[in-house]
Amino acid sequence: MNCRVDDLIEEARVLLDLNPVGFACGNTLTVDRILRGRLPQAVRETLCEASILDVGAGKPLCEPIAWHWVTEKWWGSIVLPADFLRILSFQMKGWSRPARFIAPDSRQYALQHSAFSGVGGCPERPVAVVVPSAMGPCLQFFSCRCSADTVLQASYLPMPQTDDTGHIDLPPALTDAVARRMATLAAAILNRQDDCD
């Protein structure tokens, strides 16, 4: 849903118990500028924490797969798009179900590179993880029977951007949550400035 950034700012101002007209804060910043500056962080945090049912279908992930061989199994990696925010689903055709996602700092991730082929993900219980890389976030998935396997389903949530008309595309169920997060982030800044006065 395309919503106006100014409407989000207005809603956040109401949550902060401020009137709709901007006023000077600390003689340099207006509340509206603070709220607008917190918008990307509020959107990112809200969308990353939201239920998959609330964020929508996302975009198809169509990037090429780089294949790797380790101890009798194939695993793949995909460099994620520049607008990547969150993976929604990932399944290869040779798998019996979609991948279970794990954290890159978990013990399970270390097991994916084990010398023992029975340890880690397999086509019956696939595992995927998003890790940082020199080329940006990278999806790694474990494992496949051969490097000819192809993607059955893959979608990701892109980071919404404000367009030239001052609108941002947000899931309808999350616009209020974004405004609340903007208000919370701005309140922390405003409280710090009050302490300095």
- Separation of alpha carbons 77 and 106, rounded Å: 18
Residue 194's pLDDT is 55
Work out the mean pLDDT of the chain and round it to a whole number.
90
Q: What is the mean pLDDT of the segment spanning 154-164?
A: 96
- Say yes or no to pLDDT of 195 above 80: no
Residue 119's pLDDT is 84
Could you read off the pLDDT of 112-143 as tens digits, one per residue? 988 777 788 999 999 999 999 999 999 999 99
3-state secondary structure 60-127: ECCCCCEEEEECCEEEEEEECCCCEEEEEEEEECCCCCCCEECCCCCHHHHHCCCCCCCCCCECCECE
Could you read off the pLDDT of 53-77 as tens digits, one per residue? 999 989 999 999 999 998 788 999 9
Q: What is the mean pLDDT of the segment spanning 13-35?
A: 70
Residue 27's pLDDT is 39
- Say yes or no to pLDDT of 186 above 60: yes
